[in-house]
Amino acid sequence: MRSRVKAETSAPSSGPKPPRRKRAAIVAGGAGFLGSHLCDRLIADGYRVYCIDNLYTGRLENLDGLAAEPRFTFIEQDVRAPLETLPEAQEVYNLACPASPPHYQRDPLDTVTTNVIGTLALLKLSGARQARLLQASTSEVYGDPAEHPQRGSYNGNVNPIGPRACYDEGKRVAETLCYDFRRQLQADVRVARIFNTYGPRMRTDDGRIISTFINQALCGEAMTIHGTGCQSRSFCYVSDLIEGLIRLMRLEDAPATPVNLGNPEEFTVLELTEEIQRQIGGCAGVRHLPPVEDDPQRRCPNIELAFDLLGWRPGIALRSGLRQTIDWFASPPGAVADAPSIAATAVGPA
């Protein structure tokens, strides 16, 4: 078994203490990038964890570090299939959905039905079990935003029939379902609107700019920028994000609105390429390609609500998060060398 996966588990932070009583959690989409880090964290916090995933974009090697863990069970299952046989759990995290544009656009019908039918199924399951559900939503619900930075109250600017709609609108309907379950059936739901997150275990083929740029730079190729490179993005390191999800799930009273989780520090795409080039060395430079349809020009979260409610804000600077991510991507497959881990450093009271 590769020990690398276990080594870069997000360490529990000084955030909220895990509940004393034995708890169980279902993590749908737990074999993916974020889901596998979440499984690691929940196991470290003493939970019994049931990871369900159809391996559409997830990978079993993301879970290698948990293979010998008796409190961890992987169940290969689609969230749209009947879920009644799943074990009891007090907490349900729904992360099941391909998250990167090439993956979610590969089969748009799969993406939209996973979001709508899958979320509905998990809401029904959570309701029947009186479990708490946390829905992983996305900053993409804001579309190409006319408001900047985006507050949770901004209703977005989404093209409902464009190539990204299967994801953006799918996630919007999933949010609608969550709040209708809350209003109509008093369900205990929480919605995190996640902004760009990066770190070890991103897929090299996911088409997201950090993984794409790092791979290109490591191969000595020019980094390909769609458009001018002046469009902005904000990047949250994975352990910070997981800390935010955990705090949102453990909040006693569910917030009345979705909560933005992301890093408000804003960089242009060109600035990102410069930092990656500085860390990797070599000078293949950048190559400009035509802009992508419906690509948002600015993306930056307003995280005041997360700070007020959860005492959360990200603590890991892009430079150090990139260093960890580059080290992970640079490790040869199957390497046993430990990738250094970064403990979540979210600050403030739990």
The residues binding ligand NAD (CB under 6 A) are 28-29, 31-35, 53-58, 78-80, 95-99, 103, 114, 118, 136, 138, 194, 196-197
Radius of gyration of the chain (CA): 19
Collapsing DSSP states into helix, strand and coil, what is residue 42?
Answer: helix
CA–CA separation, 187 vs 258, rounded Å?
A: 15
Among 326, 314, 307, which Cα is nearest to 262's?
A: 314
CA–CA separation, 197 vs 42, rounded Å?
A: 19
Among 5, 4, 9, 56, which Cα is nearest to 28's?
A: 56
Q: Which of 93, 104, 142, 167 is catalytic?
A: 167
* Smallest gap from residue 139 Cβ to ligand NAD (A): 6
CA–CA separation, 345 vs 27, rounded Å?
A: 23
Q: Which lies closer to ligand NAD via its Cβ, residue 43 or residue 97?
A: 97
CA–CA separation, 181 vs 186, rounded Å?
A: 6
Q: Which lies closer to ligand NAD via its Cβ, residue 57 or residue 216?
A: 57
* Smallest gap from residue 283 Cβ to ligand NAD (A): 28
Q: Which lies closer to ligand NAD via its Cβ, residue 53 or residue 144?
A: 53
* Smallest gap from residue 284 Cβ to ligand NAD (A): 26
> For residue 95, how many other CB atoms are within 10 A of its CB?
26
Q: Which lies closer to ligand NAD via its Cβ, residue 90 or residue 137?
A: 137
Q: Which lies closer to ligand NAD via its Cβ, residue 19 or residue 297?
A: 297
Q: What's the token pair of residue 23?
A: 């708890």
* Beta-bridge mates of residue 232: 268
**Tokens 């998990």 — which residue?**
122
* Smallest gap from residue 35 Cβ to ligand NAD (A): 5
Tell me whether residue 167 is one of the annotated catalytic residues: yes
Give the pairing of strands 266-268 and 232-234. Answer: antiparallel
Collapsing DSSP states into helix, strand and coil, what is residue 60?
Answer: helix
* Beta-bridge mates of residue 197: 236
Q: Which lies closer to ligand NAD via its Cβ, residue 14 or residue 297?
A: 297
CA–CA separation, 5 vs 22, rounded Å?
A: 25
DSSP 72-107: EEEEE--TTS--TTSPP-SEEEE--S--SHHHHHHS
CA–CA separation, 302 vs 287, rounded Å?
A: 31
* Smallest gap from residue 187 Cβ to ligand NAD (A): 19
Output the CA–CA distances (angstroms, integers) from residue 280 to 52, 117, 277, in the order listed. 36, 43, 5
Q: Which lies closer to ligand NAD via its Cβ, residue 12 or residue 301?
A: 301
* Smallest gap from residue 282 Cβ to ligand NAD (A): 26
* Smallest gap from residue 226 Cβ to ligand NAD (A): 17
Backbone angles phi, psi at 154, to 5 degrees: -75, 130
Helices 209-218 & 318-330 angle (0-180, nearest 10): 60
Where in the sequence numbering do the catalytic residues fall? Answer: 167
